[in-house]
Amino acid sequence: MASVPSFSVIITNHDYERWVGAAIASVMAQTWPQVQCIVVDDGSTDGSRAVIEAIPGITALFGPNEGQSRAAARGLAVATGDVVMLLDADDLLAPDACATIAAHWRDGIVAANFRLAVLRDDTPTDETLPVRPFHHGDHLAHFLATGGFTTAPTSGNAFSRVFVEEVFAHGEGLDANATDYWLCLSALLTDCTVVIDRVLGSYRIHGSNISSYGATRSIGQIQRELLTAHLAQRTAQTIAARHGRRFRRLPHIAGPYELKWYLLLRGAPSPKWRLPEIPRLWAIRRAVAAFARLEGLSLARRLSNILQIVAFAVLPRPLRRKLAVDGFGIRNDVGL
């Protein structure tokens, strides 16, 4: 990589006419001189195209609605920068974001993580993401022990373009959304990530983005999230092995929360999302051990989660269905 890295910022947009112009403006306002702005419109049906086409000096790509990952891949195909950033069309970069990342970038680094300030619609808040502190130490060992990892959302990361190409080439199931899951976890497990504990952008929470679904999630959505975790975690372990990291791979989902939901919803029909079956005893042992070691949890929360895991593992389906629907507010859209 060049000693003075160049950047390609890929903005993926779908029906964010209200915000995409501001996202582009935040890229064009970068103080770093070598920044390519690529905007991929993923089949928008609102006025996004007119907004994008009115802005000079960018590379604009228009295509059918295929999802975030495929839109990002289209942008990646024309990216020329040493460092790639994926900016959601409703988010913003601080003017010095690329310059700050460049100051921390070294040969051998595959990713940089940084903080994002939270906007609620257009209103600034005192919140930042990630909520938990960044982990410092051996990320692979931490992940293998707890299934946990801490990164900012998509817009709070920068990656080596060569590394992004590698993950896209080997990413199992990387064809829809949650692109940051595959990229961030794969980068962390290689142990070649630099953490910049500063706010270098803004993350917008509003009524139509993924951060707003909250308690209205359905069983089908959670099944999809579990499959995403399974495929992304398996991919990350493959990438880490390709980068010379030696470890015993985990055969199933690693995350304690994912295992908790799996135990609660096991037996539910899954016409779309074919998650491999996880042995119940393995899931219990793995989840309990992970919650016992996971950072940032009070003793009360640890015990509460462990008790829930044991209960979900032994309760019959009718009682688990009642817990899911009445206790957690999960919509039963598949007939648990």
Nearest CA to 97 among 35, 55, 52, 38? 35
What is residue 209's predicted lDDT score, i.e. its pLDDT?
Answer: 57
pLDDT tens figures, 265-318: 998 887 677 778 899 999 999 999 999 988 888 999 999 999 999 999 999 999
pLDDT tens figures, 120-152: 988 999 999 998 888 888 899 999 999 988 899
pLDDT tens figures, 215-265: 478 888 898 889 999 999 999 999 999 999 999 999 999 899 999 999 999
**Alpha carbon distance 184, 164 (integer Å):** 10
State both tokens at 280.
């119940």
Does residue 16 carry a pLDDT above 90? yes
Q: What are phi and psi of 65, to 5 degrees?
A: -75, 110
Burial class (CB in 10 A: 0-12, 13-18, 19+), 212: exposed
> What residues does CATH 3.90.550.10 cover in the chain?
7-212
Please answer whether residues 189 and 147 qualify as being in contact, where contact means their C-beta atoms are separated by less than 8 angstroms.
no
Residue 114: helix, strand or coil by DSSP? strand
What is residue 273's predicted lDDT score, i.e. its pLDDT?
Answer: 72
The CATH architecture to which 7-212 belongs is Alpha-Beta Complex (3.90)
Give the list of residues 6+ apart from residue 28 with CB closer than 8 angstroms, or none: 37, 55, 57, 58
pLDDT tens figures, 68-106: 899 999 999 999 999 999 999 999 999 999 999 999 999
What is residue 2's predicted lDDT score, i.e. its pLDDT?
Answer: 56
Residue 196: helix, strand or coil by DSSP? strand
Q: What is the mean pLDDT of the chain?
A: 91
Give the list of residues 6+ apart from residue 331 with CB closer than 8 angstroms, or none: 216, 217, 218, 219, 325
pLDDT tens figures, 154-213: 999 999 999 999 999 998 888 767 889 999 999 999 999 999 999 999 999 987 555 443
What is residue 215's predicted lDDT score, i.e. its pLDDT?
Answer: 45
Please answer whether residues 190 and 236 qualify as being in contact, where contact means their C-beta atoms are separated by less than 8 angstroms.
no
**Alpha carbon distance 86, 81 (integer Å):** 12
For the entire predicted model, the pTM comes to 0.90
Q: What does each C-alpha distance from 113 to 96, 227, 237, 273, 285 come to in angstroms?
A: 15, 25, 19, 30, 31
Does residue 54 carry a pLDDT above 50? yes
Torsion angle defined by CA atoms of residues 41, 72, 75 and 84, in that order, rounded to the nearest 10 degrees: 130
Nearest CA to 96 among 33, 22, 29, 31? 31
pLDDT-based confidence at 214, cuts 50/70/90?
Answer: very low
Residue with tokens 């688990």: 320
